[in-house]
Structures are given as C-alpha cells and as structure tokens.
Amino acid sequence: MAPISEILSIGIRYLLYVFLIRCVLVYGYRIFLHPLHNIPGPFVARFSDWYGAHHAFLRRGHEVTYQNHRKYGSVYRHGPNKLVFNTVQALHDIYQNDRLSKSRAYLATKPHPTISNLFNVLDKRLHRTKRRVIGQGINDKAMREFEPLMLSHIDTFVRSLVKSASSTNLDATEPKVVNMTPAIKSLTLDTITHLAFGSPLSLQTQPQRHPYFLRGLAIANYRTNMYIQFPVIKHFDYIERILYPFMWTSQKTFYRTLREMIGQRAMQGKVEGKKDLYEFVRDVKDPETGEGLGMADVWSEAAFLVPAGGDTTATALAATLHYLSHSPSAYTRLAREIRTTFTSASDIRLGPKLASCSYLRAVIDESMRLTPPTPTTLWREEIPSRIKGEKKEPLVVDGIVVPPGTEIGVSIYAIHHNAEYFPEPFAFRPERWLPGETFSDAKGLKKDEAERQRKLTLEAFTPFSLGPRGCAGKAMAYSETSLVLARLLWCLDFERPGANKNRDAERESMGKVPEFRVKDQFSALTEGPELVFRKRGEAWREMFEDEDRAE
Ligand code: HEM
C-alpha cells in the first residue's frame, strides 16, 4: 500500500489540475464566449472582478472609469459581468427603468441578512414604504420646520471661522489657517444627528468627546464601498481585524456612538412637538407583515442616514469653497449677489430671497459637477422574473442588449466630465447653469445649438442620481449648502494662504482652476481646502449678539 504522503501528494496534484482546468474553462469562456466578449475594456476586467476590487481598494474607481471611457468609448466592460456607460441615454435607460433595481451587491452592506435600510433594501414594496415614511423627515416642509436648528449649527460654524480670522487685513495679523474638511464635517454631522435624534453630536463645540468619530465614519464608508464593488470580501473581514486593528476599532467606535445616541433617544420616547427622523423611522411598517421596526433596524437606518446626510453635503461645501478660492471672478460675483440680496445675516433664511440667488445655485451645481460628492458608479441589475419560464423583451441600454445577471451603471464622475455634455469639462464655469449666459467654448453657437447644448447639460447632471432610488435628501442638501455659503460670505471673506490673485485670475480665464480631487469610497473622501478668513466690516458682529447679551 502507498504511504500516506504519496496519496496526499497525488491528491494535491489532482486538485491542482482540476483547479487549473476550471480556471482555463471559466476564464476562457469569459474572454472568448461570454455574451459581453465583444464589448471593449481592460483585459483583466474581462475575466476577473479583481480589477474593480483593486481600484476600489486604492479608492480611485472614479478616475479610472473616466480614463477607461476615454480609451474604450461610451461603454466598457468593468468586470466579467459589469458594464459602465457614459451617455444621457444610458442614464435614462438605467435609472428610470422599472425592470431594474439596485444590484444584489448592495446586499453585502446589510449588517444582518434580515435587516435592511433605505440604502440597501431591494424589495420594491418595502423600499417604497420606507422611502415614503422616512422621506417626510427630510422633504421641503420638514426642512422649513428644522431651519432654526440648522441655522443654529451654521452660526456656530461661522462664529468659529470669525474667531480664526484676522481683524480687517490679512497682512496685518496672522490669521489662523483652517482645514475645512474637519470643520465642515463637524457642522454637517451635528446638523444631521440633530435632525435624526433630536439632539446633536456636538462635534463643533465638544470635539474631544468623539475623537474617532470622523475617522470611524470614513472607514465605514470605505468598507461599504469595498463590499459593493467586491461582495465576496465580506466573508474575509476577520483578515481586516488582524491586519488593520486600528481601522476596526475606529469603525466600532463610530457605530457605538450611533448606538448610544439611539439609546438615549429611545429612552425619551415620544416627545411632544418633536418630529425627528427617529420618530419617522419608528413609524415604518413592513407592508407584508404590518410589523414595525426593531432597534436593530433603527440602528441600521441611522448607520446609513448619518453618513448620507453628513458626508455628502460636507463634500459639496468643501468643493465649493475650494473652487471659489481659486476663482476671483466667481468669488466676487457671488459675494456681490449675497451682499446685495440680503440686509443682515439673520435675513438669510430659506425662502424667495435665497431662491432668487441664481449665481449661488450655479456655483454649488458647478462645484458638484466637477467634484460629485458620490463620484462612483451606482450599480443596477435586472430583477429576475417571479414567474417561472416567463419570456421578457431583451433589456436594451443605449442600444446595447444587456444579458440577465449583468451589473450596469453610469459613473457620476465620468459623465460629469464628458465633454459632449459639458464643454471645457475640467473648467470651473458657473455660467453654464445660467440661461442666457455663455462662456468661451459655448460662444459662437447658434441659438438652437446653444439650447440643445443646455438641454444636454441639464440631462447629464446627476449628482443626486435619479429615478426612484435617487437621493431623498436633495432638499436638505441644497438648503444647507446655500445657507452655509450665504451666511459665511455675509460675515467673512476668505482666500487660500499665500494666494496670488493675479495668477488665479489668469488661470481662471484659461479654464485652469485646479480640480478639488477626492478619493472614491462610494461617497467622496476629502482633504482641505485650507483657507484663511477675514472679518467683513461690522457684518460679522451680529453673529455674536446673543453671546454679548448673555454676558
Ligand atoms: C450634496 C449632498 C448629497 C448628494 C450629492 C447625495 C447623493 C445621493 C446619491 C447619488 C444617492 C443614490 C445612491 C445609490 O443609488 O446607491 C443618494 C441616496 C440617498 N440620499 Fe443623498 N445625497 C446628498 C445629501 C443627502 C442628505 C442631506 C440626505 C438626508 C438624510 C440624503 C439622503 C439620502 C437617502 C435617504 C438616499 C437613499 C434613497 C433611496 O434609495 O430611496 N442625501 N444620495
């Protein structure tokens, strides 16, 4: 009888042969016979999802996708069963299509198989119910009711910038350089936690209480993105615990803080006159069972709503400040609009006056176009028919027949830089959003050509995505960004430390404002901008009136 070691070695060799044959068959099929084999794309992506995982790991999926479109055209193969498109037609065909739902990869972000939140629920009926109920807490009406509390956080933010500023002249005293990413995130997270749980996290006023919250949030986003891009990795999260223990603990701290906030809110029960998001979430009932949500579900909703509402708005604001600090003409025009529309800081409220600030809206939109807060590709998939053997029309996206089981999407970053829809795609041109105005590349177009161009521009602009799974917090995002920028520019002027206005003006006129680059981890990870502030005349004093009175 052969010794055990010989049997083992034969066994291993045999398994290796089987593995190699399987690889040859599977990869050979994916490269040469797969229904998508004719669609161009990077070679590795044709046979392995490691391609997407690798770029998600390095947080550069958005820029790689943009480059790939330049190389391969308006559609390319991003994985064996993944297609990315880059046209307005595809945006419509994918995100406004009843036959499609979020891809099953979103399921990997569920904390438990039976627990879902508004972000990762795939069942359409449950999604509609959750969206209807939770949406009431973040729609226009809710924002008008929440406005005084939102303004109190914005004023805390502006006051801290005033305190960092020199008196009148930037050269006279040394103003403090402010890193805007943590400052803005503290503001937006205080705001969303106040809206969600009826009291804020107080990151602005007591940052020492939650030193790891921002880091934990960033890591939670990173993991969410890795799971969506490469769901298999979820099964190996213990490797992460061993290799990156600090990452793991920061993220746990973030979740623990949320749990504590929910616990404190739950202890208060129903509070008369208070309708925070917690109340709305507790009202959600499963349409099939009629049962309400348990604490684990409430936690899961919070774990999504806090980053959804806090992180994205922070990116929009940081990007806008970056572009303004590089664009003297846009800065001057916006400051003039704010300072001539309102009569005091407290006059800056939601309503017709703020809505009339069209340049403000153009600046925010142009900043979100260049640096979308969610720069990624939002994957969708055809829902398999419940009826066995049912024959469906083939799914066609932008003229391409998409086989069942294919994940498809449009990269928000890539389409926002598609020159067909946005002439001078890397230039900061708020005028492109203003009807009747034009800029260098659009000059000389005939009226009907200009109108066609404008229509395409509007259709291709998709920072909030679109369709039934588009952003539910758009009203909150525009309310918050507009109020912050308007109150800030009422009280202060700002610039980059050591900015050279002449050089900036020259670069701006040539369309060479540097991009506010971010890392793609589903939502964007930002750094900076670093800015210095200068008090504006006596306008800022109003912010301190309550404090002065209290003294
Ligand atoms: C500039 C700020 C914002 C941007 C750019 C943005 C962008 C987006 C995008 C692209 C999606 C779709 C995600 C996907 O398909 O997987 C989304 C979904 C969502 N966003 Fe926002 N968002 C912003 C602010 C907010 C705010 C302030 C809230 C309020 C809590 C919010 C709540 C939501 C919700 C609840 C969804 C899920 C909608 C659903 O699936 O039905 N967002 N957002």
For residue 76, is it within any domain?
Answer: no
19 vs 5: CA distance, rounded Å: 21
Is 494 among the domain residues? Answer: yes
Angle between helices 501-509 and 295-326 (to 10 degrees): 100
pLDDT in the model for residue 171 = 47
DSSP state of 292: B
When mean pLDDT is compared across 31-35, 136-140, 354-358, 547-551, the lowest value belongs to 547-551
Task: Count the domains in the chain.
Answer: 1
- Which 3 state secondary structure label does DSSP give 275? coil
Q: State the pLDDT confidence band at 186, using cuts at 50, 70 and 90.
A: very high
Q: What is the mean pLDDT of the chain?
A: 90
> Residue 347 maps to which CATH number?
1.10.630.10
Phi, psi (deg, nearest 5) at residue 515: -70, 145
Count, in order, helices (H) and strands (E) of the chain.
21, 12
Q: How far is the CA of 308 from the centre of ligand 1 (A)?
A: 6
Ligand 1 pocket test: pick from 281, 312, 469 the residue with the most ligand atoms within 8 Å of its Cβ. 312
ipTM for the assembly: 0.99
Residue 167 has pLDDT above 70, yes or no: no
Q: How far is the CA of 306 from the centre of ligand 1 (A)?
A: 11
Q: What is the pLDDT of residue 170?
A: 46
Question: How would residue 400 be classed by pLDDT, with cut points 50, 70 and 90?
Answer: very high
Band of residue 81 on the pLDDT scale cut at 50, 70, 90:
very high
In DSSP terms, 495 is beta-bridged to 532
**pLDDT on residue 383:** 82
C-alpha torsion sign, points 8, 10, 16, 21:
negative
Question: Distance (Å, rounded) from C-alpha 375 to C-alpha 462?
Answer: 10
pLDDT at 439 over 90: no
Higher pLDDT, 470 or 550: 470
Judge whether 491 is annotated as a binding position: no
For the ranges 2-11, 301-310, 504-513, 518-527, which has the lowest average pLDDT? Answer: 2-11
Which residue puts its alpha carbon closest to atom 30 of ligand 1?
309
Which tokens go with 451? 């109108």
Contact at 8 Å (CB) between 183 and 207?
A: no
Residue 69 inside a domain? The answer is: no
Q: Give domain status of residue 43, yes or no.
A: no
Instruction: Give the C-alpha separation, 465 to 372, whole Å.
Output: 11
CA distances (Å), origin 412, targets 452, 453, 456, 463: 21, 19, 15, 7
Question: pLDDT-derived band of residue 483, with 50, 70 and 90 as boundaries?
Answer: very high
Report which residue type is found at 489: L
In a domain, 131, yes or no: yes
Percent of the chain exceeding pLDDT 70 equals 94
Distances (CA, A) of 321 to 162, 193, 300, 338, 455: 16, 23, 32, 15, 27
Is there a domain that residue 234 lies in? yes
pLDDT classification of 353: cutoffs 50, 70, 90: very high
pLDDT tens digits for range 89-123: 999 999 999 999 999 999 999 888 888 899 999 99
Q: Is the whole model's pTM more than 0.90, yes or no?
A: yes
Confidence at residue 480, expressed as pLDDT on a 0 to 100 scale = 97
With cut-offs at 50, 70 and 90, classify the pLDDT of residue 548.
low
Ligand 1 atom, smallest distance to 106 CA: 16
Asked whether the beta carbons of 330 and 431 are under 8 A apart, the reply is no
424 confidence band (pLDDT: 50, 70, 90): very high
* 206 occurs within a structural domain: yes
Q: Which domain holds residue 257?
A: 113-321+337-362+482-550
Pocket of ligand 1 (CB under 6 A): 118-119, 131, 138, 305, 308-309, 312-313, 316, 373-374, 378, 463-465, 469, 471-473, 476-477
